Structure 1
Amino acid sequence: MEVQEEQERNDGLSEDTILKQDNEKPDLNMVSQLQAENRLLRDEVASLAAQMKNMNEQINKLTELFNERIRYTEFEETSRKNMNDELQSYKKGLLFNMIRPFIVDMIQLREDILNDCQDANSNDQAFISQNQVIAYAEEDIFDMLDKMGVEMYRSNKGDEFVSGRQRAKKIMEKTHDKELHGKVAESLSYGYSYEGKIVYPEWVKRYIYEEE
């Protein structure tokens, strides 16, 4: 009796074990779906990694461009400063080169006048008169202006008055000749021009007609 019961228990256990094993047998459709999802996940991870790599490359490029721009800006600022310094130096040098001949001539004029005065005094001669000094200086200044390309002009009595080339004093010369009205009565100073441009106009006195 006990042996029969033990056999029945063993048979029941075997059936449960078989049923349990049957229940634990994997579902092929589920396995296939899991594998597909796993492959999809790996692909997404790989794609995300590629995107991150590409993003890092783009960031590195932008960083390099930014650094390059900073270096270029610093170089540009330095170059601009150097160019400005060179320009200022060039302008100073150019200005000096332009006025140097005039300065040298003025110095030479002064030295010549001083030497002439000293020679006259050392030779027990009378001092050079003021008019002689002025005439001497005027002649040398004339030569200096001529060397610099400055042209000098002066009108004659009865010439037409040309506005721009000439300026008239308020005091006018009266005349009874209608044809002289408004024309040049007297030249009071030279006019000066450089390359066709008026530098200093001639001052003149003009005629004004007055009936007798």
Structure 2
Amino acid sequence: MNKTLYIIRHGETDLNKRGIVQGRGVNSPLNETGLKQAAAFYRYYKDVPFDRVYTSTLLRTHQTVASFIEAGVPWTQLQGLDEIGWGNYEGLEQSAGLLEGFSAVTSAWAQGQLNVSVEGGETPLQVVERQNQAINTILSKEDDKVVLVCMHGRAMRILLCWLSGKPLREMDDFPHANTSLYKVHYSKGAFNIIDFYNLDHLKDSDLTVK
């Protein structure tokens, strides 16, 4: 079975712009820039014959790919595509204490300590567990050869890391600006990234990339 996944991050939200942690618990909408990014992505990729659109359960992903859904592409929401749960940090303004704690957690991950989480949040290994269920669902639809997957920054880094066979401690090797695209091909049980961090749809525009 062959399948191509177009994996993108959602468009910008006001909380992205302000540096406020969203995670799974903050369901914020796209801001004006985010809506423009989504429109630019649709204009650039509207002729791709997507068989299905997958999103997380959060509004910002729905809005990012709304034009494809409105054009008639079947849509499925999967909790496995939700952002990592940032626990007690969700919804908080940036502060010295928050940044210090955030840095401690992400540094631990980079050292391979993948059972570490923010208090009340998820670990990378927990995210992989639910992502694996989501990917199995996507692969089970054998007639869907080309699919669009809209998700979230940290979760996207984790997903791309394990799909490509890299250790999770290297997740930060995958940049994830709003509406950035990674194209992944699946064949004979293996995933291969065939387009890395593509932002062509935002070229020649004044759209802010975060």
Q: How does the TM-score come out when normalised to structure 1?
A: 0.20
Query: Larger Cα Rg: Structure 1 or Structure 2?
Result: 1
Larger relative contact order (C-alpha < 8 A, sep ≥ 6)?
Answer: 2
Q: How does the TM-score come out when normalised to structure 2?
A: 0.20
More helix by share: 1
